[in-house]
Amino acid sequence: MYRNKKAGTVGIIITIIILILIVIFSNGESNTAFFENAASNLVMPIQNGLTYLKNKISGNNTFFTDINNLQAENEELKQKNSELEQSLRELENIKTENETLKEYLNLTEKYGEYSTVPGYVINKDISNYSKTIVINLGSDDGVSENMTVIADQGLVGYVVSVTDTTAKVETIIDTASSVSCIMSSNDESIVCKGTMDDDSSLRAMYIPTDSNIAQGESIETSGLGGIYPKGIHVGTVERVTNTQNLTDRYAIVKTAVDFDKLNTVLVITNQ
Amino acid sequence: MKKLVINIFLILTIFIIYFLQSNFFTWFNIAGIMPNLFVVIVLFIGLFASKTMGTIYGIVIGLILDLLFGRSVGIQAVSLGLIGFLAGIFDKNFSKDSRMTIMLMVLSSTVIVEVLNYLFKYMFEGISVEVFNFVKILILEVIFNLLLTIILYPLIRKFGYDIENEYKGNKILTRYF
């Protein structure tokens, strides 16, 4: 009321600018790439033009003498090029076909024995501390509590509660979640718990003292605990942290599923 | 009649905040941390309308959030309801004319809500405690909330006094001293 109004507006504008800058710089490459692109778009045409001019001037003395030879060579190369392109296209077709066939084979091998219902993620938790998601499948689609939810890369979580048309899913990265897992190379059991740190890592606890756990090792569910069926891929070991005592060392497991971009999920309806 | 308009306006604001929280702030965030504008709106209602209204709005918003996302119903309801009640106490003891006091209120209520939520979750859902990570997230969230409060302060003051005139009428004395 009694305050200078202009100073207030300036303060607000400065705060907005600071907020936007903090958001941009705290989120790393994904956002700065836009500005880098804009800057390079601004400078690149001039840079290209200058480089072109320089090349033109320095190559000027041989420009007229070679012109006949070059024409013949050009024809020859063009023909060769079209032939090569043809074969390249054929190879690419074969390659993609091969990949899709392999994918089908893997998927049926992995999840063939389960019958699944596909669904979409329709909502994510708005709190910073828990990471539940809501999917568009409910009891009408045959989904009920404690069913396992997977994506095509690996384990997502399990159903906590259902309504007629939606279901609440607790993801494995939530801090309340812990999954009983085994290391695929030596079948030793560990427990993977969600952390608050970031959206793509789990903390593997209770590693047996006599076992070797190495970077890049594949982790899958053990089937113990009654919720998750056996043999679903969870992630890979990113690094092992040794503490003073061998019994409480832990490993950071990178999840196979990218929870930031998670869109489609599958619910396993028979276990 | 005017009270009805105010209530419709508040409910609309809550919906807008919900959509901001679930869409806009999922990409407009500081290192992945979202603000919590529900705390600000409940504090605002308790501060300018009345203690009872703040508590009721807090409990209703909290219940909706619990039903939508939570595993155990009542955690957010209790903590947000408490904020509505606290706002009434703040109103009696502090001036609302200064941006600084509003910011301090937002700071303290954000901290209270998140610490309470975390404690309840620890008790009922058995989450693993990570104090360092929790404090890190909390500090970022408080900073984000404070920046938003600075930006929204003129709006808060303008609509706040309209609502206060309607609800408290000639009972307002503190503002003129």
Fold of A115-271: Thrombin, subunit H (2.40.10)
Q: Following DSSP, what letter does each residue of B99-151 receive, concatenated?
A: HHHHHHHHHHHHHHHHHHHHHHHHHHH-PPP-HHHHHHHHHHHHHHHHHHHHH
Q: Is residue B174 part of a domain?
A: no
Q: What is the structure's pLDDT at A271?
A: 63
Residue B80, pLDDT > 90, answer yes
Q: Is residue B7 part of a domain?
A: yes
Q: What is the structure's pLDDT at A212?
A: 81
> Percent of chain B at pLDDT above 90?
38
Single-letter code of the amino acid located at B68: L
d(CA B150, CA A23): 16
If one compares A169 and B1, the residue with the highest pLDDT of the two is: A169
Measured between CA atoms, how close is A124 to chain B, in angstroms? 7
CB A180 within 8 A of CB A191: yes
Q: Is residue B28 part of a domain?
A: yes
Q: Is residue B75 part of a domain?
A: yes
Burial of A190 (0-12, 13-18, 19+ CB in 10 A): buried
Chain-chain contact of A16 with B153 (C-beta, under 8 angstroms):
no
d(CA B78, CA B90): 18
Between helix A29-58 and helix A5-26 the angle, nearest 10°, is 70
Measured between CA atoms, how close is A187 to chain B, in angstroms? 25
Chain-chain contact of A176 with B33 (C-beta, under 8 angstroms):
no
d(CA A235, CA A257): 8
Instruction: State how many domains chain B has.
Output: 1
Q: Domain of B115: which CATH number?
A: 1.10.1760.20
A·B CB contacts under 8 A:
91
pLDDT tens-digit series, residues A29-53: 555 566 666 766 777 777 777 777 7
Q: Which pTM does this prediction carry?
A: 0.72
| Mean pLDDT (whole number) for B55-77 | 88
CB A125 within 8 A of CB A159: no
| Mean pLDDT (whole number) for A80-104 | 85
Chain-chain contact of B29 with A23 (C-beta, under 8 angstroms):
yes
Q: What is the structure's pLDDT at B172?
A: 62
d(CA B119, CA B112): 11
Q: What is the ipTM of this complex?
A: 0.76
CB A255 within 8 A of CB A248: no
Q: Is residue B23 part of a domain?
A: yes
CB A237 within 8 A of CB A251: yes
Containing structural domain, residue B42: 2-169
Chain-chain contact of B117 with A170 (C-beta, under 8 angstroms):
no
Q: Is residue B177 part of a domain?
A: no
Q: Which of A50-64, A232-246, B157-171 has the lowest mean pLDDT?
A: A50-64
Q: Following DSSP, what letter does each residue of A49-77 receive, concatenated?
A: HHHHHHHHHHT-TTTTTTHHHHHHHHHHH
Q: In sequence order, which residues have a C-beta less than 8 Å from that of residue A230 and are 6 or more positions away? A: A220, A221, A222, A223
- For tokens 């529900």, what's the residue? B38
Q: Which residues on A lie below 8 Å from B151 (Cβ)?
A: 12, 15-16, 19
Q: What is the structure's pLDDT at B163?
A: 86
Chain-chain contact of A15 with B36 (C-beta, under 8 angstroms):
no
Residue of A160, A175, A205, A261 to mutate, interface with B, max B Cβ within 10 Å: A175
d(CA B165, CA A224): 62
Chain-chain contact of A197 with B127 (C-beta, under 8 angstroms):
no
